Amino acid sequence: MPDLQFTITDRSLVPVTEHGGETGHALWRTEDIDGVRVRAVNYSPGCLADHWCDKGHILHVLEGELEVELRDGRSFHLRAGMGFRVSDSGHAAHRISTRAGARVFVAD
């Protein structure tokens, strides 16, 4: 972590950007904190990411459920309270989908 001062964030005041998927969309509230991207993401019901992601993340599911599919064919079902971490190494390209929608917190 970078050398950070103690700071409070009211995520409801962070601007929202919409990111379309193959189906559905994701609404992001994103901050860049000294090179660390921190996001609160709301996935719409029926959302399927439009790409395979090679970027490293730490993701925590706050509400709802996600399917995380790896390019190698493995898939994982995550529900509220679960999460995953993956490095930037490119060894675990992944994409997200959700049937009923989900709210997650991501740092990368």
In whole angstroms, give the CA distance from residue 2 to residue 9: 17
- Note whether residue 8 is domain-resident: no
pLDDT at residue number 17: 98
User: According to the model, what pLDDT value does residue 39 have?
Assistant: 97
Give the other-Cβ count within 10 Å of 57's Cβ. 18
Res. 5: pLDDT tops 90: no
Supply the pLDDT for residue 2: 72
- pLDDT digits over 15-74, tens only? 999 999 999 999 999 999 888 999 999 999 999 999 999 999 999 999 999 999 999 999
> Is position 67 within any domain?
yes
Indicate yes or no: pTM above 0.85: yes
We report the CATH number of the domain holding residue 46 as: 2.60.120.10
Q: 97: domain range?
A: 15-107
What CA–CA distance (Å, rounded) separates 74 from 72?
6
Domain count, the chain: 1
